[in-house]
Amino acid sequence: MKIHLINPSDHSFGTAVITPRWLFVLAAATPRFYGDPTLVDESLEQLDASTIQPGDVVGISVHTGNALRGYELGRIARERGAWVIYGGIHATLFPEEAFERGSAHSVVTGDGDVIWAKALADCAAGNLQRVYAGGKVAGEDFVPARWDLISADKYMWASVQTVRGCPKHCSFCSVWRTDGQKPRQRNYKRVIEEIVDLRRKGFRFIALADDNFYPVTLTDLRLAREQGNQARVEQLETMRAERFLLMAELAKLPHNMVFFTQITMEAAEDTEYLDAMNKAHIKGALVGVEAVTPEGLKAVFKEFNYSGDRLVQQLRTFREHGVHVLGSFIFGLPSDQPSTFQATADLALKAVTFAQFVMMTPFPGTVDFE
């Protein structure tokens, strides 16, 4: 029984910007007695279907953008007599679709770190269940990726995850529904071990692929203290201290290392945190600005962001503390007017190093989609 793990893509370029982290994590979650799984990243090259034999297991992870290609691959694999198992964000939100369109034998919902081995064991025993609920595993159960299986020369950036989950509930985002609103944090020592492993393989550029690199805000701490919730205060302080330990260890790595992450705007109020990021070689962060007006922020459930001059100052604070911002702006909100475009461009020029402007897209699983 050979294990195949496939990252679907409609286009193959021979090289890729960033590693599909799930591919190497699920490879690590595959018990060694099955042998090394075959990893196929179709952003590099298309699947050679002849490598799939009857009785093999094919694991396919899909998000909304590559789901149709993933379903096509699942149909091909099943026609060749393989077991077909789906996972990923889209399969977690819409498991039935994988059966209807992708010829699935089974779907793994939620995190695959722990449950994947169970699905493989059941498959080997001829007792594969229809759905496996992986849930949201604790930080200590996150599986470090098997970077020994990577073709290091094919990727510009590697990816390492330090925390899953985001406490926000933005209307356009499905992450808080799939990964939860309770941040689950990995032990910083295991994160550093993985980064050192990647460094030895030649990687200098690493994305900290977190849902939100700033899981504990100063506001969270203040509210917990005001509520007299000492247990919550201690929990938050422990998480915050762990973040600083991580960044202190990152700071010890070679100075030509470059890290990038994504973070909420609230980090601008925590300059101690930004200074620690700078020392840790975290050179930049994607910040979801989304809208430049109070009406726009309300439309996307992001009223914790500022607008106008206060927004400009917040964004400039990142740069003043050595963290360059990739500002992400959304066009097509219900509150947008013709003047919104120029106002957004003007603010971006004043306040951020890089900018991306995207159309409001109601992805399945989001409040906007509903």
Three-state secondary structure call for residue 5: strand
Kindly tell me the sign of the dihedral angle through the C-alpha atoms of 354, 178, 155, 201.
Answer: positive
> Tell me, what's the pLDDT at 328?
94
* Residue 307 pLDDT > 80: no
Residue 72: band (very low, low, confident or very high) from pLDDT cuts 50, 70, 90: very high
Maximal C-alpha separation, the chain: 63
Whole-structure pTM value? 0.92
**Is residue 360 within 8 Å of residue 172, measured between CB atoms?**
yes
Q: Which CATH number fits domain 3-133: 3.30.750.200, 3.40.50.280, 3.40.50.150, 3.30.70.420?
A: 3.40.50.280
Distance CA 242, CA 215 (A): 11
Q: Please, what CATH class does the domain formed by 161-359 belong to? A: alpha beta
Measured between alpha carbons, how far is residue 330 from residues 149, 337, 341 in Å?
37, 13, 10
Per domain, the residue ranges of the chain are 3-133, 161-359
Question: CB atoms < 10 A from the CB of 228, how many?
Answer: 8
Tens digits of per-residue pLDDT, 23-32? 999 999 999 9
**Quick check: 212 pLDDT over 70?**
yes
Give the whole-angstrom CA distance, residue 135 versus residue 114: 9
pLDDT above 80 for 132 = yes
Q: Where is 156: in which H helix or E strand?
A: strand 155-160
Given a cut of 70, is residue 306 above it in pLDDT? no
Report DSSP letters for 301-348, one per residue. Answer: T-TTS--HHHHHHHHHHHHHTT-EEEEEEEE--TT--HHHHHHHHHHH
For 81-92, write each residue's pLDDT tens digit. 999 999 999 999
Backbone angles phi, psi at 84, to 5 degrees: -120, 120
In tens, the pLDDT along 326-369 reads: 999 999 998 898 989 998 999 899 889 999 999 999 998 899 99
Percentage of the chain surpassing pLDDT 90?
86
* Alpha-carbon span 137 to 285, nearest angstrom: 26
Tokens of 49: 């279907």
Q: What is the dihedral of CA 214, 321, 289, 205, to 10 degrees?
A: -70
Q: What is the DSSP string of 173-210?
A: --HHHHT-SS-EEPPHHHHHHHHHHHHHTT--EEEE--
Tell me the per-residue pLDDT of 147-180, one tens digit each, with 9 for 90 and over: 999 999 999 999 999 999 998 888 999 988 999 9
